[in-house]
Amino acid sequence: MRVANVLLRHELRLFGSLALWVGRRRHGVGAGRGFGYARGQGAVMFGFAFVCVVETFTMSVLLREWPAAHMAMLLLDLYTVLFVVGLYAAWVVRPHVLDDGVLRIRHGVHVDVRVPLGHVVSVRRELRLSHERTDGELDVAIGSQTSLALELAEPVTHVTFLGRRREVSLVRFHADDPDDLVRALDQALTRVRSGPSPWSGLSGRRG
């Protein structure tokens, strides 16, 4: 039952992201600044969706003499197309967010890790195309790629898709413009470490 609830919540969030994408809105950015990570992935996802459409047409021809099977396969294929487009939409409308002393690292509706800036030791450019699962480390890859590494003085909790909790002290993730995110994060860290009001001066850079 718990797994079914998780899957249902996941589906609702995907289709909610699709609605936000159509409406050109973003989720959870508010007064903060958003950093995208889906650039370059659209062609791959829509290519996959196109393959699903071709399969739908092919199966419609093959099953035209079996109406019940034809309808079942048609609904399944249409759902698959919506699911794929919803995945991409979730990437677009749920960017990483820098706001209110927290860096929020996301990957669609699957990953949402809030890192207090006070926990951050360093952030650096680090391009990786392959990753191995390691205790205390989290790899939030897009297209098997990460471009940034965030080292933490204190671990943060990552909740997996099925609810398992992991403590991580190193987070690798991807951004479309990693240099821009590093600059913004360095500025925010400087303000956090030098005074009680880290966000003065950032209001003109809201995303």
Is a pLDDT exceeding 70 seen at residue 147?
A: yes
Query: Nearest-5° angle of CA 110, CA 111, CA 117?
Result: 165
Work out the average pLDDT over 92-110: 95
DSSP code of 177?
A: S
Is a pLDDT exceeding 60 seen at residue 159?
A: yes
Maximum distance among all alpha carbons in the chain? Answer: 73
pLDDT at 181: 97
Strands (E), 6-145: 33-35, 96-99, 102-107, 111-116, 120-128, 137-140
* Contact call for residues 95 and 29 (beta carbons, < 8 A): yes
Of 48-57, 58-67, 146-155, 191-200, where does mean pLDDT reach its minimum?
191-200
What distance in Å separates the CA atoms of residue 127 and residue 76, rounded to the nearest whole number?
38
pLDDT (tens digit per residue) in 47-77 = 887 887 888 788 878 888 888 887 888 888 8
Question: What does residue 105 show for φ and ψ, rounded to 5 degrees?
Answer: -100, 125
What mean pLDDT value characterizes the chain? 88
Single out the residue of 98, 101, 96 nearest to residue 191, CA to CA.
101
Q: Quick one: pLDDT band at residue 1, thresholds 50, 70, 90?
A: low
Is a pLDDT exceeding 90 seen at residue 106?
A: yes
pLDDT at 40: 78
Question: Which two tokens mark 85?
Answer: 């487009």
pLDDT at 204: 44
CA 191 from centroid of its chain's CA atoms: 27
Domain ranges of the chain: 2-27+39-93, 96-200
Give one DSSP letter per residue of 98-111, joined into a string: EETTEEEEEETTTE
Helix (H, G, I), strand (E, B) or coil at 23: coil
pLDDT (tens digit per residue) in 165-188 = 999 999 999 999 999 999 999 999
* Contact call for residues 175 and 37 (beta carbons, < 8 A): yes
* Contact call for residues 103 and 120 (beta carbons, < 8 A): yes
Helix (H, G, I), strand (E, B) or coil at 44: helix
Q: Quick one: pLDDT band at residue 5, thresholds 50, 70, 90?
A: confident
pLDDT at 194: 84
